[in-house]
Structure 1
Amino acid sequence: MKKRIGTMVAALLLSGAVARAEMVDRVAAVVNRDVIALSEVEKRAAPELARLGSAVREPQKRAEERARLLKAALDTLIGEKLMEEQIRELGLAATDAELDTAVSDVKRQNNITDDAQFERLLSGEGFTVKSYKEFLRNQMSRMKLVQIKVSPKVKVSEEDLKAAYTQYTKMESEDAEVHARHILVQVDPKATPQQVEAAHKKALGLAEEARKPGVDFAGLAKAKSEGPSAADGGDLGFFRRGVMVPAFEKVAFALKEGEVSEPVRTQFGWHVLKVEERRAVDVAPFEQVKNELETRLKMQKTEKFVEQYVQELRQKASVEVKL
């Protein structure tokens, strides 16, 4: 009797502990026998969730977007769990020797000469040495699985390459390079809203001044810009899409030759842009970009086949989503 009472007490204590654990960290999904906690999902979605806070102001839309981001992160984690089961079954986990070699390669590629420097690099990316090695081992193990189950299906034909080159030439010929100058009014990252607005007003005044007939934009930039290019009259030279920060690039490629923009906000402050010249981009010949196109197509097809493979695993597995 005492033994039974003791068992009952233990069971009650255990159920209480489980209840408290659920209150602290909800279960987002159960994949066969593996549990995915909500905290794992939130951690995986953290970068996108952080951007969401500043990008979407309306509460309902923010809630809907948050739910979408969490679902996408959960789907990714479910896929990884299913692949991990296959890795265990097939004995494909990366060995300690393979991991050590990979870590040495990372250190060599980043010119890292000592462990303290390596720890600082990882810390800047949100890793400890232990968590990074775990992350790297998982990545390497999944790559082994992909090489066996997916890579043999990935084929890129000459017709695929020529079709990709046709699309490439169309995109390149429609694009252009712009030669721009800018005047920067710096804003400290910790600036108050009042300081940001004061800098904005200053930038508005500079934009108005730059548009006056006969004003030399380069001379104005030399005199008033607070950026490192001020000495060169704010000259940024020619650049293509994908080089500048998105907000800056969007305005630069929308301006006509000789046109001066309204102030544009980036992490550096407020910019007033002027496009000096636009020119067409020369399209590289097929043989020159063939290898790059092949690599890109293989990556795209591999991603597609990996998604199909994960869906096949999911159909055969017991997956209970609780999010």
Structure 2
Amino acid sequence: MMLRRSLGATLIALLLTALCARADQAAASPTAPAKATQELTKKVNDGLDLRFANGIAAIVEDTPITVDDIRREIAPLIPQLQRESHNEQEFDQKLQALQDEVIQNLIDRVLIVKAFKKKKDDSDEVRKVPASYIDNRIEEIQNDQFDGDRSKFLAYLRSRGMTMKDYRKEVEDDIIYNYMLGQQRKSASIVSPVKIEQYYNENKDRFYQEDAVKMGMIQINRDPGETDQQLIDRGNELIARFKAGTSFEDLAKTYSQDAHRLRGGDWGWQKRTDLKKEFATPLFALKKGQVTDPIITPEGCFILYVEDRKYAGIQPIDDVRDQIEHILAQQMSQRSRERWLERLRRDGYVKHY
């Protein structure tokens, strides 16, 4: 099924989770939980039919928002919604909110597409998406969602009662919708240095960081009957090579016996609280570029390396400038989008049922 891109951030997160779960279960035979989900889906569909007895939730300009439109958006989300609800009452409340959000998103989608196509004056031509763009997008959908099998794709269209002409219009509207949202984001994405500094000064606590080490590790597994001293001797041989100039990364790739060997022993940034005490204490006593003495455990010998360090405290503004810019750009984009949508809703014709 082609997924509309008109869902809000909350719906997208739900949808991705639901689709991943559904993919994991695709090969499984029907189970009791699957049957329960089917029954719940039927209940949801019956509820929609009861709520919108004439099959229409809203009219936007001259476009109806139908119960089938809503059902198609909500159906993949029901299992996730069920898992997140502790009882039937909570499920019903979340479902009502989800239905309302889906309806509003579908309305906004129609208004946005209309805004793209609207003439500014009599001399303007109606803007259209080039046919080649639509052809390419349909080909992508056919390959990605139907394994390139055109017969499956056409069967999907028949199941929705759609002609190819209908589907091309739907794809065109999706392209327009995403283009318009992209243009809106661009227009609100410029953040001034003054605003970045102001945000930093007002939110310094957000940029506090604990002690952290960019850690490398070599693990040497204990052979049967091997003593602690023998392990220490093996570890010291590698430490001697490191001090003689061999890079820690090369030593780890050659001698380490854990899953991080292929990455040169790189374990990324680790906080003190992320590690066992027998690792954290010697590691955080080191400076950048140093290695620990061999650390012996029942499993074997470990050599830890400090590739880089971050000390506890408020991070300098230069270290978080990009992060702040991203936060502010998102906030500005969201506010700009809401104002834009409010204007479209105010100027457009919308009738709810």
Structure 1 length as normaliser, TM-score? 0.47
Rg bigger for which structure? 2
